[in-house]
Amino acid sequence: MDISKNIILIGPMGAGKTTIGRKLAKSSKLAFFDSDHEIEEKTGADIPWIFEIEGEDGFRKRESMMIGELLINEEPIVLATGGGAVLSSENRRVMKENGLVIYLSSSPEKILKRTQNDKRRPLLQTDDRLQIIKDIIHKREPLYREIADVIIETNKLTINQAVKKIKDKLKIDENN
């Protein structure tokens, strides 16, 4: 199948968007972008620093601009978004209109395990990480589902299994 649309990965932090996205892009012969990484490249500052200096609102404005820039292009790409990208109704509209949206779902416990040593996630720099993760998922889950074309539960999947499942759902030929 000719891939003619962007593939956009959404979901909570630690669900596997970047890792799975990178592998999916490579196996589909598409360019891969991670919106958080692109923000860091463009600004020369890391996400925790942007949160500290500009607050979450400042970061979200940068995120919206970056998502818009990345999705309006000639060639389709695979885009891994930040977990909170869906908080903006404008981002949800832009993603829905400019690609196939894949929601990578994962349990709070699995996300905690995957992020337990990560110091680069500003929202998790707290004593009760599990409760914060549960709160974040509770707030964002309806938004992820609202725009998802496909939902993939990643708790028990390896990276390769998740990529295969996405490709099967999107009917992307392995020899693409």
User: Which residues lie below 8 Å from residue 85, measured CB to CB, with a gap of 6+?
Assistant: 10, 35, 63, 67, 91, 95
Amino acid 115: pLDDT? 76
Amino acid making up residue 33: F
Amino acid 176: pLDDT? 46
Q: Is 153 helix (H, G, I), strand (E, B) or coil?
A: strand
Q: Which domains does the chain have, with CATH numbers?
A: 6-168 (3.40.50.300)
- The pTM of the whole model exceeds 0.85: yes
The CA-atom distances, in angstroms, between 68 and each of 37, 71, 84, 97, 175 are: 15, 5, 15, 11, 30
Q: Are 132 and 121 in contact (CB under 8 A)?
A: no
Amino acid making up residue 167: K
Burial annotation 113-138 (CB, 10 A radius, 16+ → b, else e)? ebbeeeeebbebeeeebeebbbebbe
Amino acid making up residue 93: R
Please give the chain's pLDDT, 176 residues, in tens: 346 789 999 999 889 999 999 999 999 999 999 999 999 999 999 888 898 899 889 999 999 999 999 998 778 999 999 999 999 999 999 999 999 999 999 999 998 887 776 656 655 566 678 888 899 999 999 999 999 999 999 999 999 999 999 999 988 655 54
Tokens of 137: 């998922």
User: Which residues lie below 8 Å from residue 157, measured CB to CB, with a gap of 6+?
Assistant: 165
